Amino acid sequence: MPHRIHTISRERFTDPLAIWRDPDFVFDFADAASVLQKWRDPRKGQSSREALVLGMSLENAVAVKNIRRRLLVTPLTPLEEEDLVRELEILEYIGNNALPDALLQVNMGELQTKEEIEDFIQKHLKGFEGTAEYKKQLTESLRTLEELTDIEITDRFGHKLRIKREEVMEFLGNQLGNWLARQMPAKPVTDTIVRPRGKIHKKKTFEHSILTSQTIPPKSIDIDDIVVMKKDRNAQIYMITDISQSMRNVVQGTHFSRLEGALLTSLAIFYYFKRQGRSRRTNQKAFRTAVVPISKSRRIVSSDNELERFLLTAVAKGRTPMSASVRAAIEHAKVKKNTQNRDIHLIVVTDGRPNELIPGYNPTPSMSLIKYFEEEREGIDPVTRNCYIEINSLLRDVVRDQSRTWKVSYFLIGSERMKLTDVWQDTRRTLRGITYPVVIDPSRMDVLAKTIVTESLRLGQSTSS
């Protein structure tokens, strides 16, 4: 039944490229940033709707003036004069009542689409007869609203693409997910060989055989030396994203800010693993993703609707309560039922230092970190020092958890010169024994997404002998 399998597969696992993109349009990370900026700008859609209503009001006033002039200077039959008077009454009512009310509703954000504006104006016309012709003109005028509120972008070759506002997140997610999938190798390169009973970790097996045989190279490999990688591992990924004041800075050589780059990275990773889950013929998703904004709200963004709301409303402002956000992600991973049996990958993306403490928290950091701050960093701000101590304590506790794998990745947004600063030195000493911080150039945020996916795919490749 190959034909049936092909048909079912095409219906259930449709190709996003065939749906979401013009094959002639070349879409890259910079185009995604441009779409995100236009989508997040609340003035664009509202100003377009206001301009439309004002334009309709101007056209209506011109029509009223023309009808009055015609009634005064043009010889008319009684029937023609009656029709013109009736049309004049309708237009005057629309200009004096319907359009001002519509403009007020647009300013208040009550009318968002052209259909809502059209329905609102037509409700004012229910008391009038003979308004069919004006309704037809109204529909033609409102067609321009779609062109004004849709988002249009042009690629480097001049090809244009128009996107509806209500489809922006789905469009961006699919485009970035597919773009990220094309950056990854078709088959991950690992040091394993496939056997009928699972994957054998060659490197670890070789090390075990050296220890047992006490010879280099070992003369033979016993059955007890074979180390098999665990096959089916499910992971929960937390993107802990900085949205503090400093993330508002515009990236040099681009037209988007650090915050927008971090938002696009979160969206790309969210949809990449969502796309991977669709391709699996199982009911359980191998990877689940959630975004944790570094803010006072302490929220966990894990659904499509929550992610859309976060992308639209995220503003770079305030301080950096990083330790509290890390703690919120850890507690979410431990408490929620659907994450208790999963390996955890905590990913921190920031461009500076933490600067807000957790109220009532008593950390238990490593003694070497306390010694470092006492002997080498006496002049550091006490709040910043205690924040680093809290992060060290939280992450040390989870990486020592033997019940499952906890992986930590820490990314600092900045140039290579950051490695010469105290921020890098303090961060590196705080994460000693936990992970190694990675500096990501803000102009290469696309590299960040690829690096995170590579690290996440390695999660769960722990060994068991």
DSSP for 396-410, written as a single string: HHHHT-SSS-EEEEE
Which has more pLDDT, 406 or 152? 406
| Residue 16, pLDDT score | 45
- Supply angle C-alpha 226, 227, 229, rounded to 5: 140
Query: What is the C-alpha separation between 337 and 100, in angstroms, rounded?
Result: 53
Domain positions in the chain are 42-149, 196-231, 233-459
Q: Closest Cα to residue 241, out of 336, 326, 132, 356?
A: 326
Question: What Rg do the C-alpha atoms of the chain give, in angstroms?
Answer: 30
Weakest-pLDDT range from 206-215, 219-228, 365-374, 446-455: 219-228
| Residue 432, pLDDT score | 92
Query: What is the C-alpha separation between 358 and 390, in angstroms, rounded?
Result: 8
On whether the pTM is more than 0.75, the answer is: no
Residue 294's DSSP bridge partners are 242
Residue 242's DSSP bridge partners are 294
| Residue 114, pLDDT score | 65
Q: Is the peptide bond before 217 cis (omega within 30 degrees of 0)?
A: yes
**Range of 84-93, 340-349, 382-391, 413-422 with top mean pLDDT:** 382-391
> For the segment 362-410, what is each residue's pLDDT rounded down to a tens digit?
999 999 999 999 999 888 999 999 999 999 999 999 988 887 888 899 9
Q: Let me know: does 206 contact 218? Beta carbons within 8 Å.
A: yes
SS3 271: helix
| Residue 137, pLDDT score | 54
Quote the percentage of the chain above a pLDDT of 90. 18
198 Ramachandran zone, left/alpha/beta (phi>0; psi -120 to 50): left
The distance of Cα 126 from the centroid of its chain, to the nearest Å, equals: 44
Query: What is the C-alpha separation between 437 and 351, in angstroms, rounded?
Result: 12
Strands 151-154 and 160-163 come out as antiparallel
| Residue 5, pLDDT score | 44
Which has more pLDDT, 150 or 396? 396
Structure tokens that stand for 184 in this block: 């990854």
Q: What is the largest distance, in Å, between two alpha-carbon atoms of the chain?
A: 116
**Range of 111-115, 188-192, 419-423 with top mean pLDDT:** 419-423
| Residue 347, pLDDT score | 92
Structure tokens that stand for 25 in this block: 């349009």
> For the segment 248-280, what is each residue's pLDDT rounded down to a tens digit?
888 776 777 888 888 888 888 888 887 765 544
294 Ramachandran zone, left/alpha/beta (phi>0; psi -120 to 50): beta
SS3 242: strand
Domain 233-459 adopts which CATH fold? Rossmann fold (3.40.50)
Which has more pLDDT, 448 or 252? 448
Q: Torsions phi, psi of 403, nearest 5? A: -75, -25
Q: What's the average model confidence in pLDDT over 153-168?
A: 72
| Residue 387, pLDDT score | 94
Q: Closest Cα to residue 45, out of 106, 117, 130?
A: 106
Neighbours of 50 (CB within 10 A): 15
